[in-house]
Structure formats: C-alpha cells, structure tokens
A = this chain, B = another copy of it.
Amino acid sequence: MALYNFQRRGMLYVISAPSGGGKSVVVQQLLATMPGLTYSVSVTSRPMRPGEVDGREYQFVKREEFEQMIRDDLFYEWAEVHGNFYGTRESTVREALDRGTDVLLDIDIQGGMSVKWRSPDAVLLFLMPPSMEILEQRLRARKTDSDEQIRIRLENARREMDFWRFYDFVVVNDVLEQTVQSAKNILEAERHRARRLRQFEK
C-alpha cells in the first residue's frame, strides 16, 4: 500500500536566557525526556566551576587555544561574554544535522543572534525570568559568583532582556515543569513544520 511518508532534516534548537534565567535545568530536563535531540557541547575559555566535567557542560580550553580555533574558522558561532569566550564547533552541528538529529544549542544571546543570521531556519527560544528580583535571587542562590560578578551579570541581564523580540518563541520561566513542557511542545510542533519536510511514497 502506498503510504505517505515524510522525511525531515535535523533542526537547530537554540535556547537562550539572561544569566541566572534557569536555563541549565530546563536544558537538562529537555534532553533527558526528548528522543532525537542531541546536545551540542560548547567550547569555552572560562574556568571550570565546581561540579563541572570537561566535555559534559563544556569543552574547556585555554584562551590562546580558543583564539587559535577562531583563526582556524572552526566555529559555527562564538561570542565573548563576561570576558570569556564561548563557541559552537561547526563540525559538531553539521554532523548531527546530517544524521537527521535535532541539535540543542544552549548559548547566550549574542550566539543566538549569530545562529539566526546564519540559519534562518533555526528555532530560537528565549527563557524570560519572571522578574529582575527573582533573577537576582537565583544568581545569589547559585553561590558561584562574587557580589561584583552578580552586579555585572544583572546589568547585562537587563540589557539582554529586550532581545526576546528577536527570538521565535518566549516562555516566562516561572514554574519549571511548565517551562520544560512548553519547550517540549515547541520542539514537537516544529518537527511538523511543512517547510522542513520532504514527501515520498513507499
């Protein structure tokens, strides 16, 4: 019997949030529960934080190594944030998409804007903190940053907040389970996007 079938390219799913927006937990839960979604481990020049593992949260490299990788044109996107470099390797993304896998990019807003420019077909989700006060509470609860670092992060966050307009989707990250559910709905829905499908009969 001739069934209608659809083939789909892998897609880029970008999740960004101002610092302390609670992005990491959302990303972890999304990856744990969504089949066909793979995480693209970013490269960074920032120091490892307690509990982090090289190659899991990030691939940690020295500042000079990162600069060499920029010159070698190895990055799909990269950005300097709070004095540290962050980047996505082009090869990682390309290989996954070619396999038909969706790729989750947990990157900052500069990175998100680069991806939108390079891949207009990418799906960009902005996690909005419920308020500046809650954002500050979350940053302090993390206990990884000094007061001065928190002050800088909040200042940056306030500027970054306005960028929700340039993202495709916005979810206010108030109740974690609801945020994760919304992030899943968006991915599931976009998997049915007609312009990413190719029809064949078998």
Contact = CB atoms under 8 A, between A and B. Distances in A.
Contact of A172 (B4, B129, B182, B185): B4
B4 A128 contact: yes
Interface of A: 1-6, 125-126, 128-134, 161, 164-172, 182, 185-186, 188-190, 192-194, 197, 199
A185 B182 contact: no
A192 B126 CA distance: 10
A130 B182 contact: no
A161 B201 CA distance: 13
B194 A4 contact: no
Interface centre among A132, A161, A170 (most CB of B within 10 A): A170
A119 to B, nearest CB: 17
Contacts of A166: 194
A167 B194 contact: yes
A51 to B, nearest CB: 30
A170 B4 CA distance: 12
15 contacts: A1-B131, A2-B132, A3-B130, A4-B131, A4-B172, A6-B170, A164-B197, A169-B192, A169-B194, A182-B188, A182-B192, A185-B185, A185-B189, A186-B192, A189-B190
Contacts of A130: 3-4
10 tightest A-B contacts by CB?
A189-B189, A186-B189, A185-B188, A169-B192, A185-B185, A3-B131, A185-B189, A170-B194, A1-B133, A167-B194
